[in-house]
Amino acid sequence: MASEGIIGLDLGGTFLKYALGTPEGELLYKSKKPSHGKESRDVIFNVIFQAIDECLAQASKQKIEVAAVGCGTPGAVDFDRGKLRGNTPNLADWGNADIRTRIVKRYNLPTWVDNDANVMTLAESHCGAAAGYKTVIALTLGTGIGGGIMIDSQIYRGTHYAGAELGHITIQHDGRQCNCGGRGCIEQYASAPAMVRHYMEKTASATQVADTTINTEIIFARAAQGETAAIKTIDETCAYLGAALASIVNIFNPEIIVIGGGVAEAGEDFLGKIYNELKSRAMEPALRDLKLVPATLGNDAGMVGAIILAATMNSKDR
């Protein structure tokens, strides 16, 4: 008998990453394609279909029977229906996209769809940095700040799948206006664009020239070389994150917090600084035994999580 495989899709504004894997999340084949996020919904679906076709061909070659499809996507996802709920900022025509229906119609494969941060949380909890833990908070620091909540080994989505927006925790009640419509959200203080903005504010006053090529990698590199403005920017980012994480720790008293995304890959020193800020703020009983660790699955997290999601749900349905 052929062994069982699962297809995992990780849709982003720029790329669709896709993989064929074992139900345990081991990747047997992976690739990526431009997602054409700015084009029409049908163009994006065609990219998805090409990816599935490619995975099915690989499965056939490897004598693997594909049992299900999992998909992570930006935006709030109606998990029970497998479709988007409202719009997603980086995929212009993707609002309310009915992902499950379209995939099932074409391939007749059981399909599950979830928010990309939830899928990443699932991946890190099953075979990444938080493997073996039941109460997990995951935070991805990138262009935005995404969040995932796992309670008693279950992803927490909220009443209308609109929870776990950990990037939109207030850290400054009269703070900066946020894209979400709120004010003073941590995303406005510790995302990659926020770091760049803070750094530019500091350096512009010294040189009077704003450097538009700055990114967080450059800031971390300059800090490593001892540049004051870069070091200050990173320290401030850690202080802001410490404030948001203090709220998270006092609310959830989690076992472990996983930090992923481009900004977090700056390494252990960054996490150490964040932990020190958190420790100076959060309540002592909630901090006891808490682990704050970097994500370990990197760019694979979305694909692995989509596979774990589909494998888990599919085995429940049998």
> Which one of residues 34, 158, 272, 298 is an interface residue with a copy of itself (CB under 8 A)?
158
Question: How many of the chain's residues bind a copy of itself (CB under 8 A)?
Answer: 50
Q: Which residues contact 301 (CB under 8 A, 6 or more apart)?
A: 10, 119, 120, 123, 124, 128, 260, 295
Q: At what angle do helices 228-252 and 192-207 cross, to 10 degrees?
A: 150
Instruction: Tokens for 87, please give them.
Output: 């719009």
CA angle 91/93/97 to nearest 5° reads 95
CA angle 257/258/261 to nearest 5° reads 140
DSSP line for 190-212: HSHHHHHHHHHHHHHHHHS---T
Of 80, 1, 2, 83, nearest to 45 (Cα)? 83
- In the complex with a copy of itself, the residue whose CB is nearer, 160 or 318, is 160
Write out the binding residues for a copy of itself, residues 11-50 only, by CB under 8 A: none
Binding mask 241-280 for a copy of itself (x = CB under 8 A): --xx-xx--xxxxxx------------------------x
Does the footprint of a copy of itself cover residue 296 (CB under 8 A)? no
DSSP state of 154: E
Does the footprint of a copy of itself cover residue 316 (CB under 8 A)? no
Cβ at position 160, least distance to a copy of itself in Å:
6
Does the footprint of a copy of itself cover residue 89 (CB under 8 A)? no
Binding mask 137-156 for a copy of itself (x = CB under 8 A): ------------x-x----x
- In the complex with a copy of itself, the residue whose CB is nearer, 32 or 176, is 176
Q: Which residues bind a copy of itself (CB under 8 A)?
A: 76, 85-86, 135, 149, 151, 156-166, 168-173, 180-184, 189, 239-240, 243-244, 246-247, 250-255, 280-286, 288-289
